[in-house]
């Protein structure tokens, strides 16, 4: 069922609560693809009822970004969600999520001063407001987020309160480009170039090239926003105690911004630490 107002939603949630049913939320902005659908499959493993929200959040777009042109294909999204047998789709209005106003000055802390925040300083305050408001309205037991937006994942984990955050692996196209709704913006030529992003960081993850070599390769095809190798658990500088390492990258291809990452644990983590001369 598709519900667009909070009153009707609360009636359904109340009935579920009386039956002590566990709920899982998959927050989205629509334009659904196989990556989103993989989150739903994971949500079903943890819960009795799955809720997918579709809300194009104005607070996470800057004035020069694509809020007005972001793909809005609700009819198609609803068809996909019906096939996945989602229990409830919540499509709130802006005043449901922001009953007072959009706040500009939210202190998220150190996680909002690195990586994507340097290029998009507005982004995570907008995401966090929408997600925490959805948590207030729905009170899910679980919420599922993909690892592609890894900085977002770590910020939401920090402010999730009583909601258990489940992280889901990146879903990729056949050529290993990380799935994204905005991949639709890529021209045919750009779409042929885009998979090189993963190819290069994969070589870095395997120790076949070092960071400087990776940067040189990336610069042949992209304008680099950042390429960082950090502790995967806290996004701080890696150390001897880092149990997992993450390679994070953001680049521009034409007008499009692409992000990706690779998480390394166990032996691969140790190999890269040795390559970086930390062990």
Instruction: Say what percent of the chain tops pLDDT 90.
Output: 86
**Residues 52 and 133 reside in one and the same domain:** yes
Q: What are the φ and ψ backbone dihedral angles of 96, each rounded to 5 degrees?
A: -75, -40
Catalytic residue among 33, 36, 122, 188: 36
The verdict on 135 and 232 lying in the same domain is no
Residue range 58-90, pLDDT digits in tens: 999 988 899 999 999 999 999 999 999 999 999
Evaluated on CA atoms 186, 66, 76, 39, the torsion sign reads positive
Quick one: average pLDDT of 90-109? Answer: 89
147 and 246 share a domain?
A: no
Same domain as 218, residue 126:
no
Give whole-number Cα distances, 78 to 18, 234, 246, 269, in Å.
27, 36, 35, 41
- Rounded to two decimals, what is the model's pTM? 0.93
Domain boundary among 120, 147, 168: 168
Same domain (yes/no): 148, 197: no
Instruction: List the one residue out of 63, 127, 50 whose CA is nearest residue 90.
Output: 50
Is residue 110 exposed (0-12), middle (13-18) or buried (19+ Cβ within 10 Å)?
exposed
- Predicted local distance difference test score (pLDDT) of residue 273: 65
Each as own residue / partner, the long-range contacts of residues 5-14 (CB below 8 Å, 24 or more positions apart, any chain) are 5/92, 5/93, 5/96, 6/92, 6/96, 6/137, 9/88, 9/90, 9/137, 9/138, 12/88, 13/138, 13/139
For the question of residue 33 being annotated catalytic, the response is: no
Range of the domain at 226: 181-273
Whether 58 and 11 share a structural domain: yes
Average pLDDT, the chain: 93
Number of separate domains in the chain: 2
């Amino acid at each position: 069922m598709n519900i667009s107002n909070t009153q009707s939603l609360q009636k359904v949630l109340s009935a579920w609560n009386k039956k002590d049913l566990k709920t899982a939320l998959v927050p989205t902005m629509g334009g659904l693809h196989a990556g989103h659908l993989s989150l739903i499959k994971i949500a079903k493993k943890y819960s009795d009822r799955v809720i997918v929200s579709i809300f194009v959040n104005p607070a996470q777009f800057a004035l020069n970004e694509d809020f007005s042109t972001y793909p809005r294909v609700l009819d198609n999204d609803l068809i996909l969600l019906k096939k996945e047998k989602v229990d409830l789709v919540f499509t709130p209005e802006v005043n449901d999520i922001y009953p007072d106003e959009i706040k500009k000055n939210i202190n998220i802390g150190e996680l909002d001063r690195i990586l994507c925040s340097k290029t998009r300083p507005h982004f995570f305050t907008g995401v966090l407001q929408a997600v925490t408001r959805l948590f207030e309205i729905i009170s899910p037991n679980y919420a599922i987020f993909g690892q592609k937006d890894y900085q977002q994942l770590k910020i939401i984990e920090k402010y999730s309160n009583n909601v258990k955050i489940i992280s889901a692996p990146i879903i990729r196209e056949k050529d290993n480009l990380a799935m994204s709704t905005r991949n639709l913006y890529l021209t045919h030529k750009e779409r042929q170039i885009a998979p090189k992003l993963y190819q290069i960081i994969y070589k870095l993850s395997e120790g076949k090239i070092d960071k400087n070599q990776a940067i040189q390769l990336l610069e042949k095809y992209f304008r680099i926003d950042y390429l960082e190798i950090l502790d995967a658990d806290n996004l701080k500088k890696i150390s001897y105690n880092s149990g997992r390492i993450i390679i994070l990258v953001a680049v521009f291809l034409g007008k499009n911004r692409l992000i990706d990452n690779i998480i390394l644990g166990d032996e691969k983590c140790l190999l890269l630490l040795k390559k970086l001369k930390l062990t």
